[in-house]
Amino acid sequence: MNSLVKSFGFALNGFLVALIEQRNLRIHLTISTLVLAVAYLLEINFLEFSILLLCMCLVISLELVNSAIEELVDLVSPEKKALAGKVKDISAAAVLAAAVIASLVGIIIFGSYIF
């Protein structure tokens, strides 16, 4: 049981470090908070709310993975290398793809309540 509690502590610490150091994570969390507020105000249904939560979780999770990849690349390749840049760009593209799709899902869901 102790190791389970410790692993949750490590995960929480990792999240807090990312929250402090990663501007984009703070942006995603701010937007997620706004999305939740709009969802509450529009009184969207349970299924639509669940879909929004899944989209937000995907974007935030990918942002955390992207941050970890960038830190790892910086650790193993402190000097600028084309391959290191490519790895960072690809991991950032994963976040961008998820954010674009999450935005489209939000537009579809909220649009049905607004228009």
Is there a contact between 39 and 33 (Cβ–Cβ < 8 Å)?
Answer: no
- The helix (H) or strand (E) run that includes residue 59 is helix 46-76
The token duo for 7 is 């692993």
Q: For the range 79-85, what are the long-range contacts, defined as Cβ-Cβ under 8 Å and sequence gap of 24 or more?
A: none
Read off the tokens for 86: 């490519």
Distance CA 33, CA 59 (A): 13
The catalytic residue among 21, 63, 71, 79 is 63
Q: Is 71 among the residues known to form the active site? A: no
| Active site (catalytic) residues | 63
